[in-house]
Structures are given as structure tokens and as C-alpha cells.
Chains A and B, each alone.
Chain A
Amino acid sequence: MNVAVVGGSGYVGGELVRLLLGHPEVTLTQVTSETMAGKPLSRVHPNLRRATNLAFVPRAELKPADATFLATPHGEAMAPTPGLLATGGTVFDLSADHRLRDPHAYPRYYRTEHPHPELLAEAVYGLPELHRDALRRARLVAVPGCIATATILALRPLAAAVGASGLRAVVDAKSGSSAGGHDSGPAGQHAERSGVMRAYAPAGHRHAAEIEQETGVATALSCHAVEAVRGVLATVHALDVEPPEERELWKLYRAAYGAEPFVRIVHDPDGIHREPEPKILAGTNFCDVGFAPDAEHRRTVLLGALDNLGKGAAGAAVQCLNVRHGFPETAGLGFLGLHPT
């Protein structure tokens, strides 16, 4: 099948192109970029040298494809989506533009009215671990945010078991610099970023809306920039319920993820990699989750780690493509990561 990428010059777009070029079931036909039109993909994605002869094209030259990926900034996928759907292909939106089912959430979290609220009811949130059956029939897939994915996958089994309404979550998330995108402005300058440990969103981060939508748990989210290029680590403090014993947590999480190809339970008794950590996940589509009961403080600590460009964006989009079009779910996503790195 033919696939195209809209907005392919950013970090997410580059990761998506890398994965699609290695996918055994698809042919990448076009990659758009307004700023890089006419230039080879390798000009901004040097890891793709000799992997493809494609050059960026302007969006006006985009042709219909069986599947189109939108790797555009937030707010820029809303307008073109109806036209792309009208061509009959499936659309995978990696921006936030179709993640929230409530149209009123967009002015609050993204400072814009949604021009096509009817699509929010149709779009399927792109977490196969939660919505695999709906994804098989989807025309429009909303690929989740990276911090949201790490948090939701860590939190949801506990929330489902104890009841989301009685649970409260405080999330401390750390992100690598690539999560800020290719054009992150002064915050991405080396002088500002090197050695950073910065709370860039102590309250009010927009991924909290996705987390609450998908888990039903009232969630307070604080986000930090740390010294890494790729990676998200979400530490979820699940409060207000008695923590299950460790053995029960194992049962809960094994029941949720034991058959999942890309979610691994990590809670080892020994060694230096005892809990989930994003460093070893760079380039992979894994989300590692872990847990630790803290009965003394009536708290369950839950951990989610992933590559923000992998399971947090491009990898998740390819996994959704595989589910939607009946390919093996792991097709094109077999990289196990590097160690040491």
C-alpha cells in the first residue's frame, strides 16, 4: 500500500519516515515540507542517506494515498483532515488535533476552536492497548501524546481495578529535548538546554486532558525538561486508595499487558535496571511500565517509560497502521534498542 507523510521535516516526521522506509508492507510515496520543498530528505534527516531518493514536496502537490500521516504542529491538522478523508484513505494524525473528544476542551487546552468538531466523535484514540477493535475500523486515528501514553499505560490497569472515580493521580514527567520539536525556540538552544532540570509546565500541561479522558482519573501533571535527547519517564503517584500488594499488582499488570507486543512489565529485584527507564528504549516502540506499593503513605507508585519519538509518536502511528490495515502488529517495529547507549 502507498503511504504519504505531511510535515516530514520535523523530528517526528523524520522518525516516521525512518520506520516507514523499513516497513515490509508499505511504499512511501511522498513526504511534504513547505520549508524544505525540493530538497532531499537526508538534508534534514541525515540518518536516511541512501535509504531513499525521495525529495520533499510542497503540500499543494500531495496526491491521494492509501494512508496519510499528519506530522504537523498542533492546530495545522484540523483543516486538511476532511479533504484527506474524502479521498478514501485512512488518516493518522500525530498532532493533538483529534485526540480530545470534547470540542470544548480545545479552546481550554489548545487556545483554538475546533473547525470540525464532528470528527472528534469519529476519531479513534491511537492506543491499541485500549482501542484495538475500534482501530481496525477507523478512518481517522488520533495518535496520543508522548507523556499521555506513558502515563495512561502505567495508570490504567490500577484505575480499572480499583475504580477510577476513587483514585487521584499526581504525575511527575520528565522529557528529552526532542519532545519540544524541531523548532523549539530559545528553550532548545544548547546554552539553555545543556544540563537542564527545568519545570517547564508545573501545572496545566495539556496532556492531562488526554490522560483524564482515557483513564477517568483526576490527574495533576507536572512536566520537566531533563538532559536527554529522547525519552519520557512518567512517575505516577496514585493516591487515595489502599495500594494493592506487589503480588496483586503483578497479576493486574500481567492481565493487562501479558499479551501486548510493546508493553513490558519491568520491576526487577536486582541489577541496575530494576525499574522502567527511557534511555534503553531510544528508537524502539516499547513502553515499559512498573509499580511499587507504598502502604505507609497510601500511595501506589506507577512508572511509564518510552521514547517520545517512538511509542510516544511515530512508532505508535505505525503500530496503529498495522492494526488498521491487518498487518502483523510488530511489522516495521522490531528494533530492540541499544545497550549501552
Chain B
Amino acid sequence: MTECPECAASVESHDKVLGEVFPCTDCGTELEVQAVEPFAVQPAPKEAEDWGE
């Protein structure tokens, strides 16, 4: 288990594999598995947006 780097929610490793991208269940940030043992995640790279709203 680790924490979401964006919202500090608990993130379970379950059977995730290196490089897997999945959303944080609390804040929805797309997270990428950086390491399996110990389990570590980082926000996944994403395309920049400018909604201009």
C-alpha cells in the first residue's frame, strides 16, 4: 500500500504491474506504477489541456 501523491488517499497495490496506469479512487488522478516492491506510484503523464472556459 502507498499514498496517492495528489490527495494522500490510500492506494492498494493488489496485483498491479510495473507501468500500469489506474485512477485514484478518491481524486481520480491517473496514477502510474513506478515500482512493485516496494509499491510506488506517480501521477501518469497526460496531455496538457486548456479549456479556456
Residues of A within 8 A of B (CB): 246-247, 250-251, 254, 265, 267-270
Contact = CB atoms under 8 A, between A and B. Distances in A.
Interface string B27-45: 1111000000000000000
Given A246-B6, A268-B27, 10 more contacts: A247-B5, A247-B6, A250-B9, A251-B8, A254-B7, A254-B9, A268-B28, A269-B6, A270-B46, A270-B49
Interface of B: 5-9, 26-30, 46, 49
Contacts of B6: 246-247, 250, 269
Contact of A250 (B8, B30, B46, B49): B8
B8 A269 contact: no
Given A246-B6, A247-B6, A269-B6, A254 B46 contact: no
A162 B5 CA distance: 23
A73 to B, nearest CB: 38
B22 to A, nearest CB: 13
6 contacts: A246-B6, A250-B8, A250-B9, A254-B26, A269-B30, A270-B28
A268 B29 CA distance: 7
A247 B8 contact: yes
Contacts of A265: 26
Contacts of A254: 7, 9, 26
A247 B27 CA distance: 10
B28 A250 contact: no
A269 B29 contact: yes
A267 B8 CA distance: 14
Contacts of A268: 27-28
A251 B29 CA distance: 15
Q: Which 5 pairs across A and B sit closest by C-beta, in order of nearness?
A: A250-B7, A268-B28, A269-B29, A247-B8, A251-B8
B6 to A, nearest CB: 7
A279 B6 CA distance: 27
A267 B5 CA distance: 15
B46 to A, nearest CB: 7
A246 B5 CA distance: 10
A265 B7 CA distance: 11
Contacts of A269: 6, 27-30, 46
B26 A250 contact: yes
Nearest to A258: B26
Contacts of B29: 269
Residue in A246, A250, A251, A265 with the greatest tally of chain B CB atoms within 10 Å: A250
A251 B7 CA distance: 7
A246 B28 contact: no
Contacts of B27: 250, 267-269
Nearest to A249: B7
B28 A247 contact: no
A269 B29 CA distance: 6
Contacts of A251: 7-8
A263 to B, nearest CB: 14
A258 B4 CA distance: 16
Contacts of B8: 247, 250-251
Nearest to B53: A272
A215 B5 CA distance: 30
